[in-house]
Structure 1
Amino acid sequence: MQMYVIEREIPNAGQLTSEELIGVSKTSCSVLDDMGPAIKWVNSFVTDNKIYCVYLAADIELVREHAKKGGFPANTISKVANVIDPSTAENR
């Protein structure tokens, strides 16, 4: 599976209540359950006006399908080429 980062433009996303975020999460999980094991939600980062989501999927079309079925915007979908973190510097 490939890793993808999805940028979702959602005005005032950072002001969503805990209950609203739970609802969004439940909707996403329900759609994923119906779609099967070829797509998985890893996590999401909520900012003022956007939500950035990390997914693992067999292909980009599954990411698009999830957004459509869930009613979520997917303004930008980017395939991750590499992942780095502080430990990357240790492997000089």
Structure 2
Amino acid sequence: MNKYIIEREIAGAGDLTNNDLDQITDKSCSILREMGPEIEWVESYVTDNKIYCVYKAESKDLILRHAEQGGFPANAISEVKNMIKPK
């Protein structure tokens, strides 16, 4: 599977409560279970007005379908080509 970074523009994302984030998580995971093993949520990072998600998926189309079904924005989807780490 390929790895993708998804940029989701959500005004006030950094002010969402843990309960708000739990509800988003539950909805996302429910849709992912229905979609099957071809798409996997790895982790997400919440900033002031955006959420950056890391997903593994067979295609970009699966990520778009997940966003549409969940009503989540997917303002930019970029395939990870390589990864670097500090030595």
> How does the TM-score come out when normalised to structure 2?
0.98
Q: Distance in 2 between matches of 1:71 and 1:21?
A: 14
1:31 paired residue number: 31
SS in 1 for 2:83: coil
2:71 paired residue number: 71
1:90 paired residue number: none
Structure 1 segments (4+ residues) deviating >6 Å: none
Q: Which runs of 5+ in 1 are unaligned?
A: 88-92
SS in 2 for 1:55: strand
2:21 paired residue number: 21
Larger radius of gyration: 1
SS in 1 for 2:8: strand
CA RMSD of aligned residues (A): 0.5
**1:61 counterpart = 2:82:** no
Identity %: 56
Q: Distance in 2 between matches of 1:56 and 1:77?
A: 12
Q: Which region of structure 1 is more displaced relative to structure 2, 14-23 or 78-87?
A: 78-87
Aligned length: 87
Q: Distance in 2 between matches of 1:84 and 1:22?
A: 31
Q: Which amino acid aligns with 1:56?
A: K
